[in-house]
Each structure stands twice: as structure tokens, then as C-alpha cells.
Structure 1
Amino acid sequence: MKEGMTVAIINAPADFATTLGELPEGVETHDRIEASDIHIIFATEAAVMEPLFHEAMAQIPAEGAIWVAWPKKSSGVETDMTEDTMRELFLPTGMVDNKVCAIDETWSGLRFVVRKENRASW
């Protein structure tokens, strides 16, 4: 996140603000899918994640990003999602994953951005 960005945080766990920590100056956050530089979407089921991802795609600029977050296998939280599942669902959309991270002990995250060759027509 950079100064002045707008960030949509969807279905976040209660302690996510603490996990994020202090944000850069001027960053605005909200909890709905709307025009934003970054969307961070949490879900435990692919059937929930997939439509949210597609909604978010329509709301990001060509230089924007969508982070998808799902429970790690080791978390004990029931899920039908993995890193491979996220790629299978979202690579065909014209976006590409370029970062992966452990958000915390429970959640993994994968960042998708618009492919460079698709940005001009986004």
C-alpha cells in the first residue's frame, strides 16, 4: 500500500486491522467492493471467493491489485481452497499472480495484478 490509496477489505477477520498495522498516510479503507486501488478478499470457500474476485476486477484500475486470502491447511479452518485453486480460478481472467505471503498464522494470501500486455485495454 502506498500513500493516498483506497483499499477495500472484504470479509476480514476481526483482528486484521492489527495485523495490517499502521497504514501509509492518506490510505482509505472500506469494507465493500467498489472502485479501489487494492482489494483484499478473505474467504473459506471458492464459491464465495470467485464472485467477489470477479466483482473486484471490475473495480480496480489497470495498475491495481486483488489479494485473495484463504485459510492455511495448518490452520484447522475448513476450506476447499489452496494456492493452486486460486490460480486455476483466476489466471484465465487476464490477471496473473505475482506475490504470495503468509498473512498470519491462519491466512495465506496471493496477489493478482492485470497482465502487463492487458493493461492498456483494461
Structure 2
Amino acid sequence: MLICVPDAIGEISGFAGFSRVDDALPEDGACFDYILVFEAKRVALEGMAGHFLRALNPDGMLWISWPKKAARLPTTITEDVLRAILLPIGLVDVKVCACAIDSVWSGLKFVIRKELRNA
């Protein structure tokens, strides 16, 4: 599932492997192996955070992408902000999976903590 894909990289929306492209998490109870969220505002991400565990399959992954500092776009998200929001709800970042998606967007991968995957 892709959420809030920026127009500049909209070509990824057409990849057949993604079952949904939307502006928000679905409320229909669907679960996904892969969720990629593009967001620049901390408050918006905080609003979504409580729904991530419900929307992820136990062995699924969540990628959060935000504008990197070099892009000079307004953002209130950093890696530290992501950890502050997502670690308390049971997600953990995979430190070796931080990347640049393009010249504007960075990404960090999160998974459900092992002890919570079958809870």
C-alpha cells in the first residue's frame, strides 16, 4: 500500500505489486505486507500511527519517507521524530534500512517488534 505519493514520483503508483494507492490508511480492516507512507508533517504522522499495527501483517514492513534536509522543503519529521512516534506503539526501525528514495525523499523501515508479531 502506498499513502500520499508525491506527484514528482507518482510513477511508483503504477507498479503492479501495490494493491492500493491512497491518501490515508484504509478503514476497512485490510492488512498489508508493505506500507510506504510519504509525509512531511509530524502531526499527520502522529494521527496515522495508531493504525499502523492494525494495517500491517505480522511479518510486514512499514516505510516512512520524509523530505530530507538538503531538499529544503518544510518538514517536521526526522529519524528521531519517527522513532519517538513509532517505537512506543510496538514498531522498531531496521537501522540498516535507511535510504534515499530520490533527491527529495529519505526513507526508514520499521517492522513490528518480534514479541508482538503473534500477540
Alignment of 1:1-80 (within 5 A): 8-18=1-11, 20=12, 23=15, 27-31=18-22, 32-34=24-26, 35=30, 36-80=32-76
Equivalent pairs: percent with the same residue?
A: 34
| TM-score (structure 2 length as normaliser) | 0.82
Cα distance in 2 for residues equivalent to 1:39 and 1:21: 12
Amino acid at match of 1:30: V
Give the length in aligned residue pairs. Answer: 112
* CA deviation string 1:27-71 (max 9, x = no partner): 423214232221111111100112223223211111111111111
**Gaps spanning 5+ residues in structure 1: where?**
1-7
* Larger strand proportion of the pair: 2
SS at match of 2:7: coil
* TM value normalised by structure 1: 0.80
Q: CA RMSD in A?
A: 1.9
After TM superposition, the runs of 4+ consecutive aligned structure 1 residues lying more than 4 A away are: none
